[in-house]
Chain A
Amino acid sequence: MPTGIRDKVVVLGMGCSKFGEHWDKNAEDLVLDAYEECLADAGIETSQIDAAWFATAIEEQHVGKSGIPLAVALRLPLIPITRVENYCASGTEAFRGAVYAVAAGAADIALAVGVEKLKDTGYGGLPQRTRGVVNDMMIANASAPGAFAQLASAYRTKHGISATDLKRAMAQVSVKSHANAVKNPRAHLRREIDIDTVIKAPIVAEPLGLYDCCGVSDGAACAIVTTPEIARGLGKQGLIAVKALQLSVSNGVEASHNSWDGSYFMTTRRAATNAYEEAGIRNPREEISMAEVHDCFSITELVTMEDLFISKEGNAWRDFLDGFYNSDGGLPCQIDGGLKCFGHPIGASGLRMLYEGYLQLCGRAEKRQLDALKLVLTHNLGGFPHQNVASVSIIGRYEKNV
């Protein structure tokens, strides 16, 4: 086992634009909104950044390929910039790149930026794109909600849960996130809803209704990372360190081998197991203080809480109905509103989750501020349940003496 990333790199600053339907902004404008906040938080100049990682998932919808759009948007001074894409985990990939560069000594200070400008398609939902000339000839005619809806039928069959009970638990997932987002001025959707509204909403893909699906938003988020020593040298107090960064990518077993039953994420389980080992966590339900998980759809969040070994298998639906993941529950989840309400500009989402965790750990989360925080978990899930990329990241206070 590698020694891992724990306490090797700290966050120097973070920033996040308001997420939403920014009809008046280009991707470059959103990047600048996030970057200005981040740079001020870090207390450095652009010239001090050694390298950058830039995440966009559907780049043909806005900025195009390569690291150039980021370099041009911020006039970065001819530094190395790597553009990364790994579906909805893209933002976390940018963070990983920056963190590993610092840990490796390749950069003293590194920048991670994620952005997505989705609202120029002319229709609701995610942009439709080719999946490649061979895949296009075989792939099922699936929307994203349709692909994730598969989880619901497999999960309720496996655990013998009635469609009504599961629908109600899924509704509670969304009700909780809406309640949280009311307190977040940067969130896309800021309106409280009740369970009946969710249950009675039009069906997008059986059994997912309108309120089981996250927002499609424009937005950007970024992070500047460095070593604990440099951060201290720059006068930074109360350092927030990276405790674990893990990624797991489907290799076709779920899609093509009958050992997978369709009710869970094989990749999330692997990434979580590795992340807990990297961070030294034995009992995630007790040791993790809050989580920002990839709630692209209510059923995704519900199943994910089991795959993170926080809820017992077959029991997450009860935990949600019991309020365990509410803001005043045992493990607050999506305290910023999540993808559901903060919004989901794909390339930015992983960094947005880390941004909320960082704010919370720094005690700067204003009306959303939680008490007695130790470790924050973020989780991304890109692709489809049967073929995906899952990331699990853990951050917490830097506790070593420099």
Chain B
Amino acid sequence: MEGSGIVAFGAYVPQLRLSRQAVVQANAWFNDSIRSLAKGERSMCNWDEDALTMAVEAARDCLQGVDRGSVRDVVLASTTLPFADRQNAGILATALNLPEEISTSDSGGSQRAATTDLLRALKSAPADPKALTLVVASEKRRAKAASAQELLFGDGAAAVLLGTTNPIARLVASHQISIDFADHYRGEGEAFDYSWEERWVRDEGYRCIVPRALSGLLEKAGIEPGAVDRFILPGAVAHDLAKRAGIRADAVADTLSGVMGDAGSAQPLVMLVHALERAKPGETIVVIGFGQGSDAILFKVTDAITKLAPRRAVAGSLARRRSETNYQRYLAFNGLVNMDRGPRSELDKQTALSALYRNRQTILGFIGGKCRQCGTVQFPKSNVCVNPNCGTTRSQNDHPLADAHAQIQSWTADNLTYSPDPPQHFGMIVFEDGGRLMADITDVGKGEIDVGMPVRMMFRVKDYDERRGFRRYFWKAVPADLPQTAS
């Protein structure tokens, strides 16, 4: 365990922020008790985002500047992954163009999944000092209309890269407790959580279980509560528990409830990344995961943190914000209302799995080709070079394009084609160093794009095959409102 820690981090919070006031205005007639929650906003996935697409974005943020060949283990924690039986971490690894000779796994089953995974990975650090483990947590939680959960939940993802060489935060101690305390549950095949009374959850759950984990942790670490510089616990009881434990009030981390809501199992990692992006060397950070027990982890921030390249992380994600005051759009995007989608939505979306597998690097990894003869970059990679002055056969090397700088050459906003969020924007996306494709453009509103606008690519849901419970993923263009970095 000695020497292992976090070497990099990243995060992704969807651009859309649903106004809680808009939700309460729509639903308070039915559930008066939600009036007290009408403050701030919660993050919400666009129609083409889910736990997997957010995980890819958080991981890309985390892996910038990292040799992807060094990643040996990928763990994806979530209780809301798109596939129950098709490894989601495998799709993540393919989208990230990680080597195939690695370990990948999904985990879930509890709001504590990510902290447990994080700890397990830290404790089993490989002997190879160059080997890295990627832990990603992502959650798109569903809630019934007019519920309190709808207001409290948020969508988001965070990623941490673990290793033993020059960590920015070193694992000092940990303590874990497992108790079958079911504050809520979601049965197999169910879409929504079923929750028990909040006061019981607070009194018998948080106030009894977290202090045990925390005191065990501080004892192992040999640290007084007053020495904790950052106390990370999602939910509404952090201040209460910190005070009871003797942790300074100014050490209690912002739960981000006002600006994004609670992203379930991902929230401890989202808050950890939020703490790390502002942390100074020497800080002591405690992370608590809660769910049928508790994980308590203590990190010490090192000098290496000053050398980590700036990234989007949580602050950048929160700054990339679009206010959503149309509650109906949230309902539609989350399948909570039966919209009349019209006959154009009826086109069969069956996916040929054999064709997907054969073309997985193109479709999931967004790998193009670069001609060894003339240097022309092209997408998709093809047998014959597209350069009209070249045309060499079987001459292309793999050329990843996901991080390439690009701009819009032509575009439209299409009202005729079926889209869950019309109009459908798409256009010719031209990569600066070669390559282009006619691509969907997402995360834009009417009148916001034009020729010449810089864009970046994001991994998104292309189509939902509702007849078969399948989702197609592909890459789409979004406005490049962040500094672009070539990988």
Contacts and interface: CB of A to CB of B under 8 A. Distances in A.
A146 B410 contact: no
Nearest to A158: B451
Interface in B424-478: 424, 426-428, 430-431, 434-440, 450-452, 462-463, 472, 474
Contacts of B413: 203, 205-206
A361 interface: no
Nearest to A133: B352
A258 B417 contact: no
Interface string A280-294: 000000000000000
Contact of B417 (A129, A130, A141): A141
Contacts of A207: 412
A134 B355 contact: yes
A256 B440 contact: no
Contact of B423 (A206, A251, A258): A206
B359 A137 contact: yes
A151 B355 CA distance: 32
A331 B342 CA distance: 43
Interface string A139-174: 111110111011111100100000000000000000
Interface residues of B, number: 53
Given A146-B414, A258-B434, A141 B440 contact: yes
A89 to B, nearest CB: 20
Contact of B388 (A123, A130, A149, A257): A257
Given A146-B414, A205-B415, A257 B378 contact: yes
A205 B414 contact: yes
A143 B351 contact: no
A157 B452 contact: yes
Q: Which of A125, A130, A153 has the most chain B CB atoms closer than 10 A to its own CB?
A: A153
A373 interface: no
Contacts of A130: 347-348
A263 B355 CA distance: 33
B474 A122 contact: no
A146 B417 CA distance: 8
B388 A141 contact: no
Contacts of A322: none
B376 interface: yes
Interface in A272-315: none
A255 interface: yes
Nearest to B426: A140
A125 B423 CA distance: 16
A128 B344 contact: yes
Given A206-B423, A386-B438, A143 B362 contact: no
Contact of A140 (B376, B380, B418, B438): B438
B416 interface: yes
B379 interface: yes
Residue of A130, A142, A386 contacting most chain B CB atoms (<10 Å): A142
Given A123-B343, A146-B424, A157-B451, A256 B414 contact: no
Contact of B359 (A134, A206, A208, A253): A134
Given A121-B343, A142-B438, A257-B436, A154 B417 contact: no
B440 A140 contact: yes
Of A140, A145, A147, most B-chain CB atoms within 10 Å: A140
A54 B434 CA distance: 41
A143 B418 CA distance: 9
A142 B441 CA distance: 11
Question: Interface extent on A, as a size class?
Answer: 35 or more
B52 to A, nearest CB: 16
Interface string B319-344: 00000000000000000000000111
B351 A137 contact: yes
Contacts of B344: 123, 125, 128
B304 interface: no
Contact of A252 (B359, B382, B410, B451): B382
Contacts of A138: 362-363, 380, 437, 462, 474
A258 B427 contact: no
A204 interface: yes
Contacts of B191: none
Contacts of B435: 256, 258
B409 interface: yes
A48 interface: no
Nearest to B352: A133
A11 to B, nearest CB: 36
A259 interface: yes
A262 interface: yes
B118 to A, nearest CB: 34
Contacts of A253: 386, 388
B474 A137 contact: yes
B430 A258 contact: yes
B453 to A, nearest CB: 11
A133 B435 CA distance: 22
Contacts of A261: 409
Given A123-B343, A256-B436, A257-B376, 8 more contacts: A136-B351, A137-B359, A145-B414, A146-B426, A152-B412, A154-B409, A206-B412, A255-B438
Interface of A: 121-123, 125, 128-130, 133-134, 136-143, 145-147, 149-154, 157, 202-208, 251-253, 255-259, 261-263, 384, 386
Interface of B: 342-344, 347-349, 351-352, 355-356, 359, 362-363, 376, 378-380, 382, 386-388, 409-419, 423-424, 426-428, 430-431, 434-440, 450-452, 462-463, 472, 474
7 contacts: A141-B417, A141-B419, A142-B414, A143-B417, A150-B438, A203-B415, A257-B436
Q: Which 8 A-B pairs have the closest CB atoms?
A: A146-B414, A149-B412, A143-B416, A150-B410, A133-B352, A154-B410, A143-B417, A140-B426
